Amino acid sequence: ALLAAAFIMTAGNASAQEVNKDPFVKSYSFSLRVGQTKLTSSDFTSNWDFQKAYFQYELALERKFGKVGSIELVMGKAVYKGDKDSIVVLGDSLDYTADMLYISISPKQYIQFNDEFALYVGGGPDYYQTKSAFNYDSPLGNVTEGQNFNTFGVHVLAGAEVIIYKNPWGSGEFDAPVSLFLEYRYTWAEIKEADKDFVDELNATIGAGEEYHDFFIGGHATLAGIKWRF
């Protein structure tokens, strides 16, 4: 009983100390973010004359190590769409969709100025699972084709974070400081022969002489988000 009471008192004291800590030294955080990626030009987007941007949505879990180091796991979703008319023969149309799910791991380094503002840099590997679909209509014939791809990449990032609520739920045994952040990220990730199955079917259907094209799905991303530290 004495040991149990001592344990409870110790835990309570530790929890109270945690409430009063600098928000940036909280052990864990959860964040939500949205952003847009500007694609790096590739044979795929140039040949089919598609747009070069997509929006993305992410959630992340981060483990902090002291005041300067952390590792973050990001899970995201993005949908890229492209469409073009009269691209192979007069009067045709092509619609393309790439539905992407991805995971990124980022060791990060913080540069803290005070208990409300910090900059950070980081980088690490990425894994993309992409489900693509082509829909082509023309006077010479129609083609509907899809492919799935598993792609690995790597990224670098830099950002700024500001604490807006140090203790949003008031005093007590638990707090979760809230911050806003803005992040830039550059990703290298490429799908080799991203239109292979579609091009094979297109050439067979209408006698086109198209070749395969690589699709660079990485690029310059700008993201904004909200984070809860605990």
Domain assignment of residue 83, given as a range: 2-229
User: How far is 34 from 51, CA to CA, in rounded Å?
Assistant: 19
Give 163-207 pLDDT, tens digit per residue. Answer: 998 877 665 555 789 999 999 999 999 999 999 999 999 999 998
- Please give the pLDDT value at position 165: 87
Give 34-73 pLDDT, tens digit per residue. Answer: 999 999 889 999 999 888 899 999 999 999 998 799 999 9
Token representation of residue 37: 């990626």
- Output the pTM of the full model: 0.84
Average pLDDT value over all residues in the chain:
88
Give 72-90 pLDDT, tens digit per residue. Answer: 999 999 999 999 898 888 8
- State how many domains the chain has: 1
Q: Is the pLDDT of residue 11 over 60?
A: no
Percent helix, strand, coil in the chain (nearest 5)? Answer: 15, 55, 25
Give the CATH number, domain containing residue 20. Answer: 2.40.160.20
